[in-house]
Structure 1
Amino acid sequence: MADNSASIVVDTYSEDENYAESTVSEITSLRSSICDYVYENGRRYHAYHAGTYWGSNDEKSMEAMDVMHHVYTLLLHGRLFLAPIPNDVERVLDIGTGTGKWAIDFGDVYPSATVIGTDLSPIQPSLVPPNVRFQVDDCCDEWIYKRPFDFIHARGLYGCVADWDRFYSQSLENLRPGGYFEQVEVSPTVRSDDGSAENTKIKELGTKSTGAADEFGKSFDTVEEMKDGMERAGFADVTEHRFKLPVGPWPKDKHLKTLGRYTRLAWEESMEMWVMMLWTRVLGVL
């Protein structure tokens, strides 16, 4: 893992349960209406609670999600999480599961656990481990699970939640005593040890997108705000880990160089998706 306090050395050369737990729940089984996607500016968006999330769910976006899952796994040196959960963990919830990669990998490693992955888009595969289930759900709605979870995992929810206090309170209420909640987020605004990112177009991209998200009513600064939000909700022993994630293969360190290659690929695949909805609907600049 990278030491967040140290500068990254630049390389001197370049290289290239169970589906629904209640019959009256809005946690639905897949219906045709949910798959009747919204198309706008050449991108495909979720139909369930349409317009509440800024990102597209088309094939290009799904490929980028899978690349970022690989990036997160590389960042943790092969681990799926940092929480000290027991090997006999039983009930696990993956919020904002996307293509379901994390939930599937977790289900493979912990075959005795029941893993539920939720998302606004039904873009997950049908061939999954028998202990993994996917549900179309909005984590901003009222949670109605009948039984608490041992582990709740959330990743990449920046720009997804308007009321984080409510989200964290519901997460805590749906954890069994002694259970763990873990959230992983990245900053959409680049930073640099030597100041080289300042006054660049890539810096401007993050700044404008963050402003657009604020107008949209859902912050992009989740990575800076989530620790305080968890503590306000009543979580105990909140631990924060920060990592540097290079964009491109410029670091000399081999591990960071590999991370940088995959991160750049994810950025190249995602950049249009990041700006399309927010910049057209909110900023009106495209």
Structure 2
Amino acid sequence: MDPPPSRAHQKSDAVDLLVVMEDSTNMSDASSPAMETGASIAPDTTAREQYISHSETESLIAGLKAYIYENGRRYHAFRAGRYPFPCDESEKDRMDLWHHVHLLLNNHRYHLEPLKPHTKRILDLGTGTGIWAIEMAEQHPEIQFTGVDLAPIQPEVLPQNVTFIIADVEDPWSFTEGFDFIHCRGLGQAVRDWPKLLRQAFKQLNPGGLMTIIDTESSCNSDDNSIPADSALWVFQERFHEALSRIGIPDPCRYLAQYMKSAGFVDVRVVRKKIPWGPWPRNETLKQIGACSLAMLESGFRAFGLALFTRVLGMSEDDANALSDAAYAECRNRNVHAFNYQWHVTGRRPEYNISAMVS
């Protein structure tokens, strides 16, 4: 039997919150489209000689499925620039590997909180390749899953209980039915207004429904000061944060619990875990997680940095890639014990109706 997680109170500028520390000991020792097809849509009443043609329909669909190519990488064209990371085959592989890291870190659990009995509908925000929603749907054929993302990179062959929608999660939602569980993973460097998003999610949840946000801090850390002061990791991190700040994207992890409470959620619970950046931990499970994380970072540094550094900071493609490669090379050094934190923040909508309190 695994030992119970240790508990500690952590102070931050945002909130005095209860952090459940699991596996967090020193690792050296261890105008938007409707977001649902059934939503009510106002008709175009402009007089026309002919109803919409096949070519016009194809053009509308192509607009959602189009891509932009820049510096050898592919990016989504719908709401271009809204999400600053690529969506090409290399990035899809990285996303799926990151999904595997999440499962390893969480003992192969797809969600830390149990689903409520008779769960019927689950929403996956920022679904990416759709891997979480698809695998969950295969395990729960009785539940209907809806995934939302800016990029149309999900497979076409799907379980019957999965639907994907191309939309911006920060637009007004127009779902006609509520959800019993909302899952949100990996949107930390994409969402500009978390309080607004969480208010929308709260209103869309059925009474008693749960929402879980899973994200990783964009800052690297070390327990033993093994990252040199002149490290490329520090430089990458500083440039990365500077670029995100310029385009209005905060690093939200430490504030999500307070945002949830302000939106009306109750029973807010926070779990924080360390993700090693390389196979340096002694603990075999953490070593495996670190190895997978390092493989993910091989393409990850360039994916994270290229558009932000070139578009926002004005760096050349060569300079951006050189900094990314230098940061990755340091992670390959077994004497550099870098890690970052993964945060799970879960809250529940009360059984009673308090929506008027969070308008």
Distance across 2 between alignment mates of 1:238 and 1:210: 27
In 2, Cα distance between the equivalents of 1:64 and 1:39?
18
Does structure 1 retain, via aligned residues, the 8 Å contact 2:36–2:175?
Answer: no
- Show the counterpart of 1:230: 260
Q: 1:9 aligns with which of 13, 16, 28?
A: 28
Structure 1 residue 185 displacement after superposition: 0.3
**Are the equivalent residues in 2 in contact too, given 1:19–1:134 (CA < 8 A)?**
no
Q: Is residue 78–residue 151 contact of structure 2 (8 Å, CA) maintained in 1? A: yes
Letter in 2 for 1:159: Q
Letter in 2 for 1:163: D
CA distance in 2, matches of 1:78, 1:87: 21
Q: For the residues of structure 2 that align with 1:196 and 1:190, how far apart are their CA atoms? A: 12
Distance 1:232 1:87 in 2: 26
- Deviation (angstroms), 1:19: 5.7
- Deviation string 1:178-200 (CA, Å, 9 cap, x unpaired) is 00000000012110111212522
2:24/2:273 contact within 8 Å kept: no
Determine whether 1:21 maps to 2:52. Answer: no
Q: Does 1:218 align with 2:249?
A: yes
| Contact map agreement 1:19 1:133 (CA 8 A) in 2 | no
Residues 33-182 of structure 1 aligned to structure 2 (within 5 Å): 33-182=63-212
> 1:23: Cα distance to partner?
5.4
Q: Aligned Cα RMSD in Å?
A: 2.0
Match of 1:279 in 2: 309
Task: Give the aligned residue type for 1:209.
Answer: F
1:242 aligns with 2:259: no
What's the offset of the Cα at 1:203? 2.5
1:204 aligns with 2:235: yes
- Code of the residue aligned with 2:239 in structure 1: it is K
Structure 2 letter corresponding to 1:49 = R
Against the structure 1 CA distance between its residues 142 and 198, is the aligned structure 2 distance closer, same or farther, given a 3 Å change threshold? farther
| Deviation digits for residues 68-90 of structure 1 (CA, Å, limit 9, x no counterpart) | 00000111111101122135310
Cα offset, 1:271, TM superposition: 1.1
Determine whether 1:265 maps to 2:295: yes
Please tell me the residue identity of whatever aligns with 2:189: G
SS of residue paired to 1:145: coil
Q: Please give the alpha-carbon distance, in whole angstroms, between the structure 2 residues aligned to 1:3 and 1:22.
A: 41
Identity %: 36
Identify unmatched segments of 5+ residues in structure 1: 12-17
- Distance, in Å, in 1 between the alignment partners of 2:307 and 2:289 is 28
List, as ranges, runs of 4+ consecutive aligned residues in structure 1 with deviation greater than 6 Å.
none
Question: How far apart, CA to CA, are the structure 2 residues paired with 1:178 and 1:10?
Answer: 40
Over 3 Å counting, the alpha-carbon distance change for 1:197 and 1:228 in structure 2 is farther
Alpha-carbon displacement from aligned partner over 1:78-137 (angstroms, at most 9, x marks no partner) = 110112213531000000000000000110111100000010011001112110111101
Deviation per CA, 1:122-158: give whole Å up to 9, x if none: 1001112110111101001001111110000000001
1:3 and 1:150 map into 2 onto residues whose CA distance is: 26
Shift of 1:35: 1.8
Instruction: Give the counterpart letter for 1:54 in structure 2.
Output: P
Deviations 1:160-216 (A, max 9, x none): 111111100000000000000000000121101112125221132122201210101
Question: Which whole-Å CA distance do the structure 1 matches of 2:154 and 2:142 have between them?
Answer: 21
Distance 1:207 1:101 in 2: 31
| Structure with the greater alpha carbon radius of gyration | 2
How far, CA to CA, are the matches of 2:223 and 2:207 in structure 1? 41
Letter in 2 for 1:111: P
Scaled by the length of structure 2, the TM-score of the pair is 0.74
Following TM superposition, by how much is the alpha carbon of 1:10 offset from its aligned partner in structure 2, in angstroms? 5.8
> What SS is found at the alignment partner of 1:160?
coil
- Determine the C-alpha separation between the residues in 2 that align with 1:161 and 1:189: 17
- Structure 1 counterpart SS, 2:287: helix
Contact residue 10 and residue 250 of structure 1 kept, 8 A:
no
TM-score (norm 1): 0.92
Correspondence for 1:183: 213
Deviates more, 1:29-38 or 1:245-254: 29-38
Please say if residues 76 and 87 of structure 2, whose CA atoms lie closer than 8 Å, have aligned partners that are also in contact: yes
CA distance in 2, matches of 1:136, 1:3: 35
Q: Counterpart of 1:15?
A: none
Read off the aligned partner of 2:39 and give its amino acid letter.
S
